[in-house]
Amino acid sequence: MKTSPLFLAVLPALLLAGCGSPPNSAQYVDPNGPRTIVSLNQIDIQDFNGAAATMTQSLLNSGVLEKAPTQPAVMAISRITNDTGQQFDTDYLIKNIRVALNNSGKVVTTTTTGLGGKAEDPLARDAGNMQAFMQGQPAPSRIPYYSLSGKILASTAKADDIYQRTYTFQLSLTEIASGNAVWEDQKQITKQGKQPAVGF
């Protein structure tokens, strides 16, 4: 059977199209999938999601959450420092961790106790205080058992025309009663290349 030269010329294009070539016009991609954009000079959404997943699993695997006297343990979110030079909300990391821990049934996060006395949900705190007052009781005690703090760092290297950027996600879980860090971990993500790419 004779193969047409035209067919041979078109075949690579057909194969590429079948394997999902990048779009010319905008389309939706799964933020948890492998076809997101990989940047060199910033933390991408998949980096936050991956770091959060890895560190949540590390915390669950450690077994420290089982040691809290009441289950699920109550955790407060303390300072999460962004030392990367890139502007972003650290909730891109922390919210994923909170959701996963909440789903695990091991931890609940307080929204009425926060850094510097600020409540994430002031309405809930005020309503709780009001309810206690109306019932003639003292304001409810909101001392969490654990506190989560951390830092995000960045470092850059360059050789010839290849850039490398490493982001370090550090987290500590402190047992408030003792003041000791009962779990600590860090996750590093290193990206290397000349330019951003679609997919990984």
Residues that bind another protein (CB under 8 A): 19-22, 32-35, 38, 46, 49-50, 52-54, 56-57, 60-63, 65-66, 96-97, 99-100, 103-106, 197-200
Q: Is 106 helix (H, G, I), strand (E, B) or coil?
A: coil
Q: Which is nearer to another protein, 97 or 152 (CB)?
A: 97
Give the Cα separation of 40 and 164 in Å (integer): 7
Q: Which is nearer to another protein, 80 or 125 (CB)?
A: 80
Listed residue (60, 77, 55, 35) closest to 167, CA to CA: 55
Closest separation between CB of residue 2 and another protein, Å? Answer: 29
Closest separation between CB of residue 170 and another protein, Å? Answer: 19
Closest separation between CB of residue 171 and another protein, Å? Answer: 15
The backbone torsions φ and ψ at residue 123, rounded to the nearest 5 degrees and listed phi first, read: -65, -45
CA distance readout (Å), 120 to 33, 53, 60, 114, 146? 31, 23, 24, 6, 16
Q: Which is nearer to another protein, 63 or 117 (CB)?
A: 63
- The separation between the first and the last C-alpha atoms of the chain, rounded to the nearest angstrom, is 39
Q: Which is nearer to another protein, 35 or 151 (CB)?
A: 35
Q: Which is nearer to another protein, 106 or 165 (CB)?
A: 106
Closest separation between CB of residue 104 and another protein, Å? Answer: 5
CA dihedral for 180, 183, 188, 189, sign (positive or negative): negative
Q: Which two tokens stand for residue 47?
A: 């980096």
